[in-house]
């Protein structure tokens, strides 16, 4: 955002009769929708100039997201609808979208569907949980224990789980393959956290290969 957004084509954004533009904020890694808000022309320009999301409140005042709590939404990309009447921004969020409830997203109350239909969002959520366990160790937490043991232990577990997945794949039980795959991915994401590699970096590398 810091480099590209200054070249944003503001003409593509169409403000309504009140000078407002609906904005959907989405986590750029997990795909979770964080909330729906609004920007006016000033908020949009400040977002572009600073690289951090600015919105307009009910009183028409422009504010930077989370300024009072030292939270931020660093904008990684922005998209507009075909008619230009809605803006989608993909952000790296620090803190909570809903600080009162300490919820990462304001859209966290599920009213329909099964949790497992969320799919790829789980990786972003898991990455946050693992990061929290590393920064704030908890007694009895297996994740915290692995970070305490260090790289050798974590790398060994990744290797062990990979072997167990290979063995499971040779069996007829599909659920066994699912379980072993989950074990491998979990330990692999702990290794990525230890090496300070975001899951988005891995996804970007996969996209480059395009094959």
HEC-encoded secondary structure of 54-68: EEECCCCCEEECCHH
Mean pLDDT value of segment 192-201: 92
Pairwise pLDDT comparison (116 vs 195), residue with the higher score: 195
E strand or H helix that includes residue 74: strand 72-80
- In which residue are the tokens 């100039």 written? 49
pTM here?
A: 0.72
Sheet with 87-94: list strands edge to edge: 33-39, 21-27, 87-94, 72-80
Locus of tokens 């899951």 = 199
Return the residue matching tokens 């609906």.
22
Q: What is the pLDDT of residues 96-139, one digit of tens each?
A: 999 999 999 999 888 887 765 566 778 888 998 999 999 999 99
- How far apart are the C-alpha atoms of 119 and 30, rounded to whole Å? 10
**pLDDT value at residue 206:** 86
Please write the tens of the pLDDT for every residue from 45-98.
Answer: 999 999 999 999 999 999 999 998 989 999 999 999 999 999 999 999 999 999
Report the C-alpha gap between 110 and 69 in whole angstroms.
27
User: Taking the domains of the chain in order of start, what are their residue ranges?
Assistant: 5-94, 116-209
pLDDT at 6 over 80: no
Angstrom distance (rounded) from CA 87 to CA 81: 7
CB–CB of 54/62 below 8 Å?
Answer: yes
Confidence class of residue 12 from pLDDT cuts 50, 70 and 90? confident
CATH superfamily of 116-209: MazG-like (1.10.287.1080)
pLDDT at 199: 86
Output the pLDDT for position 5.
41
Q: Are 204 and 145 in contact (CB under 8 A)?
A: no
Q: In angstroms, rounded to a whole number, what is the distance separating the alpha carbons of residues 29 and 93?
A: 10
Fold entry, domain 5-94:
Ubiquitin-like (UB roll) (3.10.20)
The pLDDT value recorded for residue 122 is 83
End-to-end distance of the chain based on CA atoms, in angstroms?
28
Q: What does the pLDDT read at residue 204?
A: 83
Is the pLDDT reported for residue 201 higher than 80?
A: yes
């Amino acid at each position: 955002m810091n480099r590209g957004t200054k070249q944003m084509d503001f003409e593509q954004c169409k403000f309504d009769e009140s000078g407002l533009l609906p904005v959907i904020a989405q986590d750029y890694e997990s795909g979770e929708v964080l909330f729906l808000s609004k920007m006016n022309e000033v908020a949009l320009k400040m977002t572009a100039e600073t690289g951090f999301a600015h919105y307009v409140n009910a009183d028409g005042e422009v504010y930077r997201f989370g300024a009072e709590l030292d939270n931020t939404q660093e904008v990684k990309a922005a998209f507009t609808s075909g008619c230009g009447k809605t803006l989608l921004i993909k952000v790296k969020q620090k803190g909570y979208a809903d600080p009162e409830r300490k919820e990462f997203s304001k859209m966290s109350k599920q009213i329909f569907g099964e949790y497992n239909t969320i799919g790829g969002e789980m990786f972003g959520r898991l990455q946050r949980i693992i990061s929290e366990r590393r920064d704030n160790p908890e007694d009895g937490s297996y994740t915290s224990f692995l970070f305490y043991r260090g790289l050798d232990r974590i790398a060994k577990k990744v290797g062990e789980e990979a072997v167990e997945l290979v063995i499971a794949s040779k069996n007829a039980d599909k659920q066994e393959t699912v379980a072993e795959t989950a074990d491998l991915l979990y330990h692999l994401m702990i290794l990525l956290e230890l090496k300070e590699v975001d899951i988005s970096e891995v996804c970007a590398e996969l996209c480059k290969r395009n094959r």
